[in-house]
């Protein structure tokens, strides 16, 4: 079974292959949502983008991005500079081991913003 490491929470969980990252994180008590978004979120329908995470290791073990996820991420400032690693947890299928950073900060002045 794949292992998901949540670095901020210092938590490691085993999940069934093909599991949904948001559902497994919530089951394990990992807080994906910043602030009020804990209560005000789209419940996994790729509409609010508040379940953004960075997959810092094992990106290749995540299912591919669907059209809804791509569209939602492109509309998010937080995506800038994290195009390779940022995913919506609610749209991410876990196919192998990965390391996940929850609630990533905005990167408005990051290396890739003005390029």
Paired with 13 in beta bridges are 4
Between 1 and 64, CB nearer to ligand FES: 64
Q: How far apart are CA 41 and CA 48, in angstroms?
A: 6
Between 13 and 87, CB nearer to ligand FES: 87
86 binds ligand FES (CB under 6 A): no
One of 13, 25, 30, 88 touching ligand FES (CB under 6 A)? 88
**Other Cβ atoms within 10 Å of 113 Cβ, number:** 11
13 binds ligand FES (CB under 6 A): no
Q: How far apart are CA 61 and CA 55, in angstroms?
A: 10
Q: How far apart are CA 1 and CA 74, in angstroms?
A: 31
Taking the complex as a whole, the smallest distance from the CB of residue 31 to ligand FES amounts, in Å, to 13
Contact track, ligand FES, 45-84, x by CB under 6 A: -xxxxxx---------------------------------
Q: Which span (8-16, 42-50, 57-65, 79-87) binds ligand FES, by CB under 6 A? A: 42-50
Q: How far apart are CA 84 and CA 89, in angstroms?
A: 14
Q: How far apart are CA 11 and CA 22, in angstroms?
A: 15
Residues engaged in binding ligand FES (CB under 6 A)? 41-42, 44, 46-51, 88, 90
């Amino acid at each position: 079974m794949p292992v998901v490491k949540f670095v901020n929470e210092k938590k490691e969980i085993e999940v069934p292959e093909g599991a949904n990252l948001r559902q497994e994180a919530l089951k394990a008590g990992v807080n994906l949502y910043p602030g009020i978004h804990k209560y005000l979120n789209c419940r996994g329908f790729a509409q609010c983008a508040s379940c953004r995470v960075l997959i810092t290791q094992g990106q290749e073990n995540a299912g591919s991005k669907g059209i809804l996820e791509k569209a939602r991420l492109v509309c998010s400032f937080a995506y800038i500079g994290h195009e390779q690693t940022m995913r919506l947890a609610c749209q991410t299928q876990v196919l192998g081991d990965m390391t996940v950073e929850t609630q990533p900060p905005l990167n408005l002045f990051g290396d890739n913003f003005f390029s």
